[in-house]
């Protein structure tokens, strides 16, 4: 037998290999240890979830949850009392901001001032307190910069007609901006009013903010139904059309309260995982989908943590934000308060649940989280093969994760699910009611999200940190967010 001489380098390399394998095994075991807790979370939520019945109670007994309204205050108190009844440590986080509410609306359209006929419409939030305008309607297509630049003077002093999403037949790759960004562009090019066409059949009307800043806009903005809007577009091809828009609205300081349930960490109590979603809704309906299924899932996650007496290394805060619909008011207030208290650096990750339903995987702003998220997802698949362990990395705007992301904080949440019972078309409309909610799919949101929260709060090391200014700038540019943030006045880099 031939024996190869063993030198010191060979011994050292074998040592490194053994150490690496050991570390890998320890890491895997550290992640796999969550499986037992995942089983407990699964059983508890499947058997005892309260999300569906408490959301049903809220929609039937309180109704809409408009921030600053009497209903909004009732919803805040209900959430506080509910979390207290579960035994959670709960507090209000009050804030005072300028807010908005609709009062009266009248929209009339015709060939001339003498032939105007009333059209069903709804005011978009942050329109002026009072407006009474009459003007010629000009078709602005998708409402993007390119739609104005071909004829810069065409829209000055006119009322812009804009499609909410991307018009059928638009060139491939045509982007869709938020309604508030489209309103800002119309204002920039001199429009005196804006009519937005909803994309949903059967005359469904959509509300929502038309302001990128959460402040009043200088021109009135309204939404009309798809059929009325497309008929109007067709008429404009052959003859001019006029519109009269009259409205009154409320704008002023209102008081609101975020609701926060805290679970103090055992080893790193000053490191926080924030699990948030907005409790508020628009006033056209009860907001069961936007965002009842998100906010009431969050409360049931907190209930599950308390019921199972789950311990986490990091502190977990379950936060119900108010004012999201009027411009992320509650989440911005949370960030402002943390800066004032000099503890924003404690927030290490933010999970956001806004219309999340029956997720099939996890999403995050930071691609570096893939190994951890899919490792935990694989454990969930062992419990329920309905969870597909999908993963998505990317970033967007216009929900309560945004103020956290703009501070460099990693964000994430559920991914790959579908809204229940074809409820998508009723987003921000008078059709957003409890009949659309699916009980089992709501349970799925609670159990998978509670598992993710538990794992994230207990993993030995989160592989991503808070981005510094230069890192954040490059990240936002890579996500194509410079343009919308610039339109909103939130791009702080030169």
pLDDT attached to residue 145: 95
CA distances from 351 to 244, 264, 356, 452 (A): 44, 17, 11, 9
pLDDT value, residue 54: 98
Dist CA 60 CA 53 (whole Å):
11
Two structure tokens written together for 369: 């989280």
Separation between Cα atoms, residue 137 and residue 260, nearest integer Å: 47
Q: Where are the beta strands (DSSP E) in 185-241?
A: 193-197, 221-224
What pLDDT shows up at residue 150? 85
d(CA 193, CA 210): 11
Q: What is the pLDDT of residue 213?
A: 87
Convert 396-435 to b/e letters by CB count within 10 Å (16 or more is b): bbbbbbbbbbbbbbbbbbbbbbebbeebebbbbbbbbbbe
Q: H helices of 161-223, where?
A: 179-188
Q: What residues have CB less than 8 Å from 450, skipping those under 6 apart?
A: 41, 45, 301, 304, 305
Q: Any idea which residue has 């812009």 for tokens?
A: 160
Domain spanning 35-99+253-487, CATH architecture: 3-Layer(aba) Sandwich (3.40)
pLDDT at 284: 92
Separation of CA 342 from chain center: 26
Q: Which CATH class is domain 100-249?
A: alpha beta
Q: What is the pLDDT of residue 16?
A: 43
Name which of 228, 231, 232 is nearest 137 in CA terms: 232
Q: Residue 243, Cα to own-chain centre: how many angstroms? A: 34
| Residue 130: φ, ψ to 5° | -145, 135
Domain boundaries defined on the chain? 35-99+253-487, 100-249
- pLDDT for the residue numbered 14: 41
* Residue numbers in the chain where pLDDT is lower than 70: 1-32
């Amino acid at each position: 037998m031939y024996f190869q001489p063993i030198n010191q380098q060979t011994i050292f390399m074998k040592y490194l290999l053994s150490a690496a394998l050991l570390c890998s095994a320890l890491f895997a075991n550290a992640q796999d240890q969550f499986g037992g807790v995942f089983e407990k979370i699964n059983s508890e939520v499947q058997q005892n979830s309260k999300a569906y019945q408490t959301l049903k109670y809220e929609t039937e007994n309180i109704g809409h949850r408009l921030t600053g309204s009497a209903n909004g205050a009732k919803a805040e108190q209900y959430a506080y009392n509910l979390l207290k009844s579960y035994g959670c440590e709960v507090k209000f986080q009050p804030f005072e901001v300028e807010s908005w509410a609709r009062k009266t609306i009248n929209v009339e359209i015709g060939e001339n001032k003498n032939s105007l006929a009333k059209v069903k419409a709804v005011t978009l939030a942050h329109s002026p307190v009072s407006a009474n305008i009459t003007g010629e309607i000009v078709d602005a297509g998708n409402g993007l910069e390119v739609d104005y630049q071909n004829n810069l003077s065409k829209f000055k002093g006119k009322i812009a007609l804009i499609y909410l999403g991307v018009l059928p037949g638009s060139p491939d790759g045509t982007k869709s901006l938020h309604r508030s960004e489209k309103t800002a562009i119309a204002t920039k090019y001199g429009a005196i009013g804006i009519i937005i066409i909803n994309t949903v059949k059967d005359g469904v009307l959509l509300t929502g903010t038309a302001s990128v800043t959460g402040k009043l806009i200088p021109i009135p903005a309204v939404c009309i139904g798809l059929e009325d809007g497309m008929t109007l577009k067709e008429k404009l091809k052959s003859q001019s059309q006029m519109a009269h828009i009259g409205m009154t609205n409320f704008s002023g300081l209102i008081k609101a309260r975020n609701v926060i349930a805290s679970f103090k960490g055992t080893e790193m109590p000053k490191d926080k995982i924030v699990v948030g979603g907005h409790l508020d809704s628009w006033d056209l309906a009860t907001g069961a989908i936007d965002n009842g299924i998100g906010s009431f899932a969050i409360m049931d996650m907190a209930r599950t943590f308390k019921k199972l007496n789950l311990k986490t290394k990091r502190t977990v805060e379950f936060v119900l934000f108010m004012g999201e619909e009027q411009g992320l008011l509650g989440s911005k207030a949370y960030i402002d308060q943390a800066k004032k208290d000099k503890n924003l650096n404690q927030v290490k990750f933010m999970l956001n649940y806004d219309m999340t339903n029956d997720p099939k995987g996890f999403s995050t702003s930071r691609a570096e989280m893939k190994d951890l998220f899919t490792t935990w997802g694989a454990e969930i698949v062992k419990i329920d093969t309905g969870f597909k362990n999908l993963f998505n990395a990317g970033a967007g705007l216009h929900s309560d994760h945004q103020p956290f992301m703009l501070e460099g904080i990693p964000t994430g949440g559920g991914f790959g699910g579908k809204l229940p019972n074809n409820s998508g078309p009723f987003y921000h409309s008078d059709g957003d009611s409890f009949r659309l909610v699916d009980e089992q799919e709501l349970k799925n949101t609670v159990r998978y999200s509670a598992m993710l929260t538990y794992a994230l709060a207990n993993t030995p090391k989160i592989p991503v940190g808070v981005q510094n200014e230069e890192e954040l700038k490059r990240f936002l540019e890579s996500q194509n967010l410079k343009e919308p943030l610039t339109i909103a006045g939130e791009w702080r880099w030169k």
